[in-house]
């Protein structure tokens, strides 16, 4: 009986970690913004540091014309966003203040300190995943965040003050590229690149390591081993065809010197 | 029991993971991001930018059932039903609509889109039935004024700040070619036989010291082979701001609205068009020459800032809008042609045409666009939210009625300031507005002897960033753009002849404060080209950034840069900002250079720049033109 309980526990624990891996949010790499008539207005790309923190947004008009980049800092509970033009000259500064009375206020000024909204805009959660945007107490719009079953943010719908759908955003996760270093294991930088035809893995090792990189199906089955062996210090790259894979989510599992290091979801789109 | 606990544990972890996932997403895309982005992009209405209708162009459908209204800030085209006089449908666009044309079968709209934030122009093909944009076709920088060929297969767009014309093959959905224009092509119209496209170049391209031949130009384009067949100077000297054009029904004449800047006279009075008069050029298309130039103004009152024009369908009347004085001037057309053909110069003649014209004050603010249905003129004012319908059955038309285009909002803040900036009511006798010498807040490309300068000509300056780069004026005579002795109030006092009020001056201050540059056409997808990157390195290496440091590219100090000036040889001049130098020629306080390269080759201006190789000079110029 004790043996059965032990095995049940083991199986369940394995299942938990498997599911937890599946529901780990994958980095958002791009957001496209549309109006209610499906006109593509602009898009944003997101850059991450080696720890997986989003460190920069880049705004482009829909014909890929660069508009500005934004970086972030936090100080005394105030998140500050700093936007620069193509010459790295400041064009906007945004302050996002800590919640007050349940609402978070944000203000954008230009490089001369002039308010771009006229008065702070505020957001407050109204219902699950829904946020009301107000200005001077009057509703400006409402936005609803949409998630898929894996917990990934997939879209945002913005309703005008009358409740009509006015804009929407589509979110793209790391099906284009994922950058994440694993400094503590001597692997930095590291990058996945997933295209229609191949999954590629790049890394730089600070010293020789035993590295294993596996592609796992959503059901937990190992599909492919990109590398499994001793790698020397320096840069390495490996690739594997995705031609025989169906579109969908897969897991990439990286272990270094036999120690589990990282699990990331990748999306194959065909 | 054990399994229940285990599965509860499992479920909790899954839920925790899900919550963690959502938390991560909110870190990357906080609820402030999308509304902030929409507000900065001019989509979301805020207290500062309430999104005015700003009707900027009108187009009539072939069956004359609808008029389509391009509404810039709304990023919409409205379908206005002529039977019910109301808006029945709206079409959303990805960028601000600058002009609209209707396909021959009335099924499609071709809307030019561009804005100060995103000036790389495009044509949006809108299916009227589906109510959506069906194709986007790239055009040139700040595309506007779309004109269809007679067969409906080609669309021409004036690439206003790109200085060229796009020729777009509509079935293929591609730009076939670009035709170089003179400078800032703003409006176009096609002859009834489709053979000739008449394009107005809104600014003169010459050096401002040219007092003999400095004029705005009209280009005639052969549509059969897409070549410029004639460039016609619009005399008298000093013509600029050629913003409106229409072609007579018989295809013989083109009418071009414009200003005449009498820049060789000291700007000491206003009477009888001393500084600016408001005129219409009559172009003989067949002869490829200026037939005559007529003054719209009366001897005691100007009709500032002429813009859109149209001829009634019965060919009896020509209608001319004046956006600054908010008026419609109607000419008896046959008599006008008769007068104009007699050979007398009518460009500064107040009495000859008095009996064949009259002017109606409209209820609109800044009427710029007009569409004619029979003898009914449908007129839209850029700072209004209505269409005024005026019946033109004589030179004294009835004022008609106003019909709403949408939600009415009171003008406020910088938008109110922009209105006052263009409003000739802020000038004694309405001869001109701030906009007359500073179209769109930029220079008119002329030299002026201001009232308090008396004897010296100075090149008109851009208002962009003037608030942030004091003092203003080349000699720094005005310490700031704002304030009691600043350029705004002193400009109203000296250059417009009225006592400035805070009610008007403060909104103009706001307009100047908030002005933003238009990204340069020299940028590649919004960034410096490789050539410009090399130019930036040269700029920093030879020390251009000492006097023109980022971010405003001026140190606001005074230098004598060695620009030849026999009258003021020893005077130091305020360093101009280089932002938007690509559109503000001619250069220097005396306007004697029409190219950046001429300036950098001046040894006294920069020894380092003058010693560069030709390649390096070109790279440096590329960078400066990218700012």
In order, the DSSP letters of B156-167 are: EEEEGGGTEEEE
- Which range (A71-75, B336-340, B453-457) has the least confidence? B453-457
pLDDT tens column, B520-565: 999 999 999 999 999 999 999 999 999 999 999 999 999 998 888 8
Model pLDDT for residues B587-614, shown as the tens digit of each residue: 999 999 999 999 999 888 888 888 999 9
The pLDDT confidence band at residue A51, using thresholds 50, 70 and 90, is: low
SS3 letters for B178-200?
EEECCCCEEEEEECCCCCEEEEE
Q: What pTM was computed for the model?
A: 0.86
User: What is the structure's pLDDT at A89?
Assistant: 96
Which A positions 150-209 lie with beta carbon below 8 A of chain B? 150-153, 156, 158, 167, 169, 171
Q: CB distance B31–A143 less than 8 Å?
A: yes
All residues of chain B having their beta carbon less than 8 Å from the beta carbon of residue A121 are 32, 35-36, 39, 46
pLDDT at A270: 62
pLDDT at A221: 83
A127 shares contact with chain B (CB less than 8 Å) = no
**pLDDT over 60 (residue B392):** yes
Predicted pLDDT at A203: 84
Min Cα distance B423 → chain A (Å) is 25
Q: Which of A90, A151, A156 sits opposite B18 (nearest CB)?
A: A151
Q: How many CB atoms lie within 10 A of CB A165?
A: 12
Separation CA A96–CA A108 (nearest Å):
9
Give the angle B371-B378-B127 at the CA atoms, nearest 5°. Answer: 60
Of B20, B118, B550, the CB nearest to A65: B118
Q: Which residues pair with B190 in a beta bridge?
A: B197
* Interface touch A20/B13, C-beta < 8 Å: yes
A190 pLDDT more than 80: no
Say if residue B551 is preceded by a cis peptide, omega within 30 of 0.
Answer: yes
Query: Nearest CA to CA, how far is A270 from chain B (Å)?
Result: 25
| Matching residue, tokens 């208002």 | B463
Cα atoms in the Cβ-side hemisphere of radius 13 Å centred on A4: 3
**CA-wise closest residue to A62 among B172, B173, B133:** B133
Cα–Cα distance measured from residue B519 to residue B517, given in angstroms and rounded to the nearest whole number: 6
Interface contact flag, A25 B20, Cβ < 8 Å:
yes
**CA-CA distance, A158 to B519, in Å (whole number)?**
29
- What pLDDT, on the 0 to 100 scale, is given for residue B105? 95
Task: Classify residue B250 as left (phi > 0), alpha (psi -120 to 50) or beta.
Answer: alpha
A117: contact with B, CB 8 A cutoff = yes
Q: Which residues of B touch A158 (CB under 8 A)?
A: 34-35, 38
CA separation for the pair A149, A22 (Å, rounded): 10
Please indicate whether, in this complex, the C-beta atoms of A39 and B133 are within 8 angstroms of each other: yes
Give residue-wise pLDDT tens across range B314-328: 999 999 999 999 999
On the 0-12 / 13-18 / 19+ scale of CB atoms within 10 A, B195 is: middle
- What mean pLDDT comes out for the span A111-131? 95
Cα B195 from Cα B183, distance rounded (Å)? 22
Q: Which of B269, B356, B257 is nearest to B303 (CA)?
A: B257
Answer yes or no: do B6 and A8 touch at CB < 8 A.
yes
Percent above pLDDT 90 for chain B = 87
How confident is the model over B164-187, as pLDDT tens digits?
A: 999 999 999 999 999 999 999 999
What mean pLDDT do residues A146-175 have?
86
Query: Among all residues of chain B, which has the CA nearest to that of A152?
Result: B21
Q: What is the pLDDT of residue A4?
A: 60
Residue that the structure tokens 């009835």 belong to: B398
DSSP type of residue B498: S
Q: Which residues of A touch B94 (CB under 8 A)?
A: 35, 39-41, 62
Structure tokens at A204: 């730089």
pLDDT at A249 over 90: no
Buried b (16+ CB within 10 A) or exposed e, B513-549: bbbebbbbbbbeebebbebbebbbebbeebebeebbe
| Shortest alpha-carbon distance between residue A209 and chain B (Å) | 31
How many angstroms separate the CA atoms of A261 and B566, rounded? 77
In terms of C-beta density within 10 A (0-12 exposed, 13-18 middle, 19 or more buried), how is residue B210 classed?
A: middle
Chain A residues with CB-CB distance to B33 below 8 A: 57
Instruction: Give the pLDDT of residue A15.
Output: 46
Residue B75 has a pLDDT of 98
Residues of A within 8 A of B95 (CB-CB) are: 61
| CB-nearest partner of B32 from A54, A96, A136 | A96
* Chain B CA closest to residue A117: B48
Whether the upstream peptide bond of residue B586 has omega within 30° of 0, thus cis, is yes
A29 burial (CB, 10 Å; 0-12 / 13-18 / 19+) is buried
Query: Taken in order B133, B138, B142, B144, is the CA torsion positive or negative?
Result: negative
- Number of C-beta neighbours around residue B574 at 10 A: 21
DSSP symbol at A27: P
State the pLDDT confidence band at A149, using cuts at 50, 70 and 90: low
Using alpha carbons, select from A261, A248, A262, A176 the residue that is nearest to residue A218. Answer: A248
Nearest residue on chain A to B118, judged by CA atoms? Answer: A61
Contact criterion met (CB below 8 Å) for A208 and A232: yes
Mean pLDDT of B430-447: 97
- pLDDT the model gives residue B15: 41
Residues of B in contact with A116 (CB under 8 A): 39-40, 48
pLDDT band at A147 (very low <50, low <70, confident <90, very high): confident
CB contact under 8 A, A31 and B29: yes
Q: Which two tokens stand for residue A113?
A: 């300190």
Strand residue runs (E) in B160-299? 164-169, 174-180, 185-190, 196-201, 216-222, 227-234, 239-247, 253-261, 276-284, 289-295
Cβ–Cβ contact A84 with B under 8 A: no
Q: Mean of the per-residue pLDDT values for chain B?
A: 93
Structure tokens of B511? Answer: 């307009």
Rounded to 10 degrees, what is the CA torsion of B379, B380, B386, B392? -10
Pairing of the two strands A198-205 and A234-241: antiparallel
**How far, in Å, CA of B61 to CA of B430, rounded?**
35
Q: Which whole number is the average pLDDT over A58-80?
A: 93
Mean pLDDT, residues A79-90: 96
Nearest CA in chain B to A53: B28
Rounded to a whole number, what is the distance in Å from the CA of B447 to chain A's nearest CA? 30
- Judge if the upstream peptide bond of residue B236 is cis by omega within 30 degrees of 0: yes
- Cα distance between residue B99 and residue B93, in whole Å: 12
C-alpha–C-alpha distance, residues B117 and B138, integer Å: 16
Q: Which tens digit of pLDDT belongs to each residue from B34-70?
A: 999 999 999 999 999 999 999 999 999 999 999 999 9
Q: Does A72 touch chain B (CB under 8 A)?
A: no
What burial letters (b/e) apply to B11-30, b meaning 16+ CB within 10 Å? eebbeebbeebbebbeebbb
So what's the ipTM on this one? 0.91
Q: Express as a percent the part of chain A with pLDDT over 70.
A: 80
End-to-end CA, chain A: 48
- CA dist B139 and B122 (Å) reads 5
Instruction: Among A33, A118, A129, select the one facing B47 at the smallest CB separation.
Output: A118
Q: Which of A88-92, B105-109, B246-250, B398-402 has the lowest mean pLDDT?
A: B398-402
Phi/psi of residue A246, each to 5°?
-80, 155
Q: Give the mean pLDDT of B109-133.
A: 96
The shortest C-alpha distance from B348 to chain A (Å) reads: 45
Which pLDDT belongs to residue B144? 98
pLDDT category at B101 given cuts 50, 70, 90 is very high
Which pLDDT band holds residue A178 (cuts at 50, 70, 90)? very low
Give the model's confidence band at B17: pLDDT under 50 very low, under 70 low, under 90 confident, else very high. very low
Rounded average pLDDT over B440-458: 86
Does residue A166 register a pLDDT over 50? Answer: yes
Greater confidence (B126 vs A248) lies with B126
A17 confidence band (pLDDT: 50, 70, 90): very low
Name the band, by pLDDT with cuts 50, 70 and 90, for residue B406: very high
């Amino acid at each position: 009986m004790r043996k059965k309980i032990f095995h049940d526990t083991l199986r369940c624990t394995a299942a938990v970690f498997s599911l937890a891996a599946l529901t780990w949010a994958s980095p958002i790499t791009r957001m496209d913004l549309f109006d209610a008539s499906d006109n593509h207005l602009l898009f944003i790309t997101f850059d991450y540091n080696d720890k997986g923190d989003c460190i920069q947004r880049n705004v482009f008009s829909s014909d890929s014309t660069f508009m500005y980049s934004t970086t972030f800092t936090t100080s005394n509970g105030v998140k500050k966003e700093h936007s620069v033009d193509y010459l790295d000259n400041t064009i906007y500064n945004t302050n996002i203040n800590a919640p007050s009375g349940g609402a978070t206020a944000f203000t954008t000024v230009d490089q001369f300190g002039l308010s771009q909204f006229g008065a702070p805009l505020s957001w407050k959660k109204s219902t699950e995943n829904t946020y009301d945007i107000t200005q001077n107490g009057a509703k400006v719009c409402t936005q609803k965040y949409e998630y898929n079953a894996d917990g990934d943010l997939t879209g945002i719908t913005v309703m005008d003050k009358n409740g009509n759908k006015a804009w929407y955003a589509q979110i793209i996760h790391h099906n284009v590229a994922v950058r994440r270093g694993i400094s503590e294991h001597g692997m930095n930088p590291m990058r996945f690149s997933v295209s229609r035809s191949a999954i590629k893995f790049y890394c730089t090792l600070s010293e020789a390591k035993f590295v294993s990189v596996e592609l796992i199906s959503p059901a937990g089955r190992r599909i492919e081993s990109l590398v499994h062996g001793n790698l020397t210090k320096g840069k390495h790259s490996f690739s594997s065809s995705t031609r025989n894979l169906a579109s969908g989510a897969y897991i990439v599992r990286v272990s270094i010197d036999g120690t589990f290091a990282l699990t990331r979801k990748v999306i194959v789109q065909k | 029991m054990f399994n229940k606990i285990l599965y509860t544990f499992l479920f909790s972890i899954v839920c925790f993971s899900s919550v963690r996932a959502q938390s991560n997403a909110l870190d990357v895309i906080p609820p402030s991001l999308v509304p902030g982005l929409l507000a900065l992009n001019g989509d979301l209405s805020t207290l500062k930018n309430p999104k005015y209708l700003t009707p900027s162009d009108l187009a009539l459908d072939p069956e004359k059932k609808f008029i389509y209204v391009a509404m810039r800030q709304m990023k919409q085209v409205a379908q206005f039903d002529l039977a019910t006089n109301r808006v029945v449908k709206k079409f959303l666009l990805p960028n601000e609509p600058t002009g609209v044309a209707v396909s021959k079968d009335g099924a499609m709209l071709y809307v030019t889109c561009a804005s100060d934030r995103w000036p790389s122009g495009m044509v949006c093909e809108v299916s009227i039935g589906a109510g959506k944009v069906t194709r986007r076709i790239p055009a040139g920088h700040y595309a506007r004024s779309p004109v269809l060929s007679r067969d409906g297969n080609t669309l021409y767009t004036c690439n206003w700040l790109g200085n060229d014309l796009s020729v777009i093959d509509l079935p293929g959905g591609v730009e076939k070619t670009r035709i170089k224009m003179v400078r800032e092509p703003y409006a176009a119209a096609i002859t009834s036989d489709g053979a000739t496209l008449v394009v107005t170049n809104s600014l003169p391209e010459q050096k401002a010291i040219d007092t003999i031949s400095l004029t705005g130009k009209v280009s005639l384009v052969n549509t059969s082979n897409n070549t410029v067949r004639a460039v016609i100077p619009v005399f008298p000297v000093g013509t600029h701001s050629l913003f409106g054009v229409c072609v007579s029904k018989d295809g013989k004449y083109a009418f071009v609205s414009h200003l005449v800047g009498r820049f060789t006279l000291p700007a000491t009075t206003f009477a009888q068009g001393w500084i600016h008069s408001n005129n219409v050029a009559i172009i003989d298309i067949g002869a490829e020459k200026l037939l005559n130039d007529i003054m719209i103004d009366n001897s005691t009152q100007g009709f500032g800032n002429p813009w859109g024009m149209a001829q009634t369908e019965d060919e009896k009347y020509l209608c001319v809008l004046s956006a600054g004085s908010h008026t419609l001037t109607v000419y008896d057309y046959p008599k006008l042609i008769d007068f104009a053909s007699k050979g007398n110069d009518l460009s500064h003649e107040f009495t000859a045409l008095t009996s064949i014209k009259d002017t109606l004050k409209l209820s609109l603010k800044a009427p710029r666009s007009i569409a004619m249905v029979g003898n009914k003129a449908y007129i839209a004012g850029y700072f209004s939210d209505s269409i005024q319908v005026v019946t033109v059955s004589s030179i004294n038309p009835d004022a008609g009625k106003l019909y709403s285009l949408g939600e009415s909002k009171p003008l406020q803040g910088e938008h109110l300031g922009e209105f006052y900036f263009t409003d000739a009511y802020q000038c004694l006798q309405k001869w001109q507005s701030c906009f007359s010498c500073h179209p769109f807040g930029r220079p008119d490309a002329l030299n002026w002897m201001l009232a308090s300068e008396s004897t010296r000509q100075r090149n008109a300056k851009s208002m962009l960033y003037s608030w942030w780069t004091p003092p203003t004026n080349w000699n720094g005579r005005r310490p700031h753009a704002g304030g009691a002795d600043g350029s705004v109030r002193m400009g109203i006092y000296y250059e417009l002849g009225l006592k400035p009020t805070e009610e008007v001056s403060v909104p103009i201050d706001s307009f100047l404060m908030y002005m933003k540059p238009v990204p340069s056409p020299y940028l590649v997808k919004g960034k410096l080209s490789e050539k410009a990157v090399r130019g930036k390195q040269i700029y920093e290496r030879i020390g251009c950034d000492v006097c023109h440091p980022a971010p405003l590219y001026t140190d606001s100090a005074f230098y004598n840069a060695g620009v030849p000036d026999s009258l003021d040889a020893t005077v130091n001049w305020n360093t101009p900002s280089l932002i938007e130098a690509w559109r503000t020629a001619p250069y220097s306080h005396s306007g004697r250079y029409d190219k950046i390269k001429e300036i950098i080759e001046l040894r006294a201006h920069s020894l380092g720049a003058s010693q560069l190789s030709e390649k390096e000079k070109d790279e440096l110029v590329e960078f400066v033109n990218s700012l």
